[in-house]
Structure 1
């Protein structure tokens, strides 16, 4: 089964969401929420992420998480992650209650492709304070891919994690999970990086991007947004329309993609210092805004 076949299948089975120029979406991926150990890369940026998410909640954005939200290779149980980052999940609950939460599974949370696993682990949790089961995300569904379809222009925005173009992280994900859990997590604590990760392997990142670019070229330059490699990407109009929202585990910052007013923008949230020595979290546009219509191929 080739990467082109897997990408085709993800597109054909994608959840379709209509949108227009009044719609607002924020895309993050690769949060890798963990257990607050030295291996939990999300822990360093959780305050930045929480502040950014609260901003998007108040501004009426729909949150789309493009995979690897929960770090379920290094951690056996979601319950551990939930207890560690409870405030984050309470915020996600607010998006979900307002029908503004869309979730995609990646390789590190690939167990979520099984609806039974999702229902068992994410519908509710046991509250030790009240000794009762409390609703978390009852009825939530994870998708392999999502297509945003513009109501007027019918332009499509194809969103997925991107590991469909990475054989070992899609077909052989259980092998990689075993290696990460048993071997690389202990080594990561002392500073040795996992060489199986495309985020740490530049050559593998290039290969993955090349395969997805080939698929985009064969599909009328369909605007496609991925994560997986952790490398932010924002092409110029007229280039192959492969975007990447980056990750939430960059050193001291997180990156994402906003879709608003019919435009797309690559953004970064980071901690900045004011002249009087006050630390504050700020939003920094990196690329764009660029009209989505600029990527329509006739």
Structure 2
């Protein structure tokens, strides 16, 4: 199978290597947004989408991160997306056969208006021209990514949650014929990939459903056509290729906690004071700042809540964040 090749990006639009940012900067970059240029109602009919399609953007409501954006090349060639394999380059190499359009997802559970939503219709209701965010993201490495997305709250509100709903559960796609990591021996985890948030976390304005980055619709390896972005949490919370959003009154399961509960908790808030059992989380490697994509490079101190403490710390007032990791 030949590797999928992303659209050519002019050199003038690619951030120089010495300016690349950290993983947390990726999430902070998302929070710091810009907005799309087209006015609401600009589409008379749902737009026909394809991966890598160009989108126009203008500055948005969030402050920009202090670090520069990670290059498009690095963002789309270094990914965790186990449905395509466990290596950081596997999503780029193995995702060519995945078909992200057309796409529908379900919103259900404790809601008054359960529905199946077509993503192209969704983007007509919430024009991307009003939704671009630059945020820092963190796992064991960091980037700053200019995500294009819609506040998750806006999508949830379409279904009118009941007063009993306390959590939001997410489910990813299962297509083993198109996603090599879901077939054969040595699968890294049970499928589908699942995740969850408390409802107040889901309703926070920094929490978005991303449908693009760098002004283009998402490529397959980046989670096409829609993925969760929660900038103050570690990257494994960012479930990709979402097919279901369910409101519930019980804490939903999340895949990494099911796989290794002694290593991964439900909350996954970025916290330099809580080490992973197998490594410290007090620092992070900045993708693009020396050492190449797959080793070495500059390290920086990890920030509590990935630098978004002023915005989100109140969500966890009174909680033991070492116990509730």
TM-score by length of 2: 0.27
Q: More strand by proportion, 1 or 2?
A: 1
Q: More helix by proportion, 1 or 2?
A: 1
TM-score by length of 1: 0.29
